[in-house]
A and B are shown apart, each in its own frame.
Chain A
Amino acid sequence: MAAVAAGSGTPREEEGSSGEAAAPQPQASTSAPGPRLSRLPLARVKALVKADPDVTLAGQEAIFILARAAELFVETIAKDAYCCAQQGKRKTLQRRDLDNAIEAVDEFAFLEGTLD
């Protein structure tokens, strides 16, 4: 299925709970494209892009890559926050884990002060 399309290393076949991964190949020839290339709806990403007053136009490919990048970002920050939770021997990610990750990781510096 998405072995080629999904860049992330998580093997979806292991998770029996997720409904979409039940069928090995989602050959939905009706409306949806075969491989699910991005989960975030492009329309919402486009709305965010248009919110920037300096942006005139954005190509479809740009929107798509932004959506995919946002997904990668969510995965990354979740994993980094989880490291903090693990140290506290907790199994639930808390807000403070996120704050710690933001402070600890340089790439997340742009988030400081934006989440309050």
Chain B
Amino acid sequence: MAERPEDLNLPNAVITRIIKEALPDGVNISKEARSAISRAASVFVLYATSCANNFAMKGKRKTLNASDVLSAMEEMEFQRFITPLKEALEAYRREQKGKKEASEQKKKDKDKKTDSEEQDKSRDEDNDEDEERLEEEEQNEDEEVDN
């Protein structure tokens, strides 16, 4: 049996949980129905990917981006997904930004530490200049955060 893309299934446990939370309490789902929904979800992703890829190619891009997927949703007549997806995307971007800033901050703190160790060995005048520079850098960081 050849491996079809549809065989790339999403985890059953997660699919079941999503189904159960979508339905009222006390409603069950048969095994066949659940596995059919799981396959349908995989087909959905493949179809959406293909649609999104068309938009990317139209834009002469080789990388699928978020707006390509949103355009695909509209093309597939799933407009009702677009608003919740946009909200999710914003939340995701905020989270990613927070993570990035946290790791960048750690990196900068590390660099500052090593820099200050070297400066202690040099003259005091140099220290004052460096301190001014550090303050400027901090201001720049604030500007980035506001953006």
Contact = CB atoms under 8 A, between A and B. Distances in A.
A74 B15 contact: yes
B8 interface: yes
B63 A56 contact: yes
Interface string B13-53: 01101110111111111101100110111111111111011
Contacts of A94: 30, 32-33
Interface residues of A, number: 65
Interface stretch (B85-93, B121-129, B130-138): B85-93
B84 A65 contact: no
B69 A62 contact: yes
Chief secondary structure at chain B's binding surface? helix
A66 B43 CA distance: 12
Interface stretch (B75-83, B103-111, B112-120): B75-83
A4 B23 contact: no
Mostly, the A contact residues are: helix
Nearest to B93: A61
A75 B8 CA distance: 20
Interface residues of B, number: 65
A107 B77 contact: yes
A87 B141 CA distance: 60
Contact of B10 (A62, A70, A102): A70
Interface of A: 4-5, 7-8, 10, 12, 15, 18, 33-35, 37-41, 44-45, 47-49, 51-52, 54-62, 64-66, 68-79, 81-82, 85, 91-95, 97-98, 102, 106-108, 110-111, 114-115
Interface of B: 5-6, 8-11, 14-15, 17-19, 21-30, 32-33, 36-37, 39-50, 52-53, 62-66, 68-70, 73, 76-78, 80-81, 83-85, 87-89, 91-93, 95-96, 99
25 contacts: A7-B88, A8-B21, A8-B84, A18-B21, A52-B46, A52-B53, A58-B49, A61-B65, A61-B93, A64-B66, A65-B70, A66-B69, A69-B73, A74-B19, A74-B41, A77-B37, A78-B37, A82-B23, A92-B27, A92-B28, A93-B27, A93-B29, A93-B33, A110-B47, A114-B43
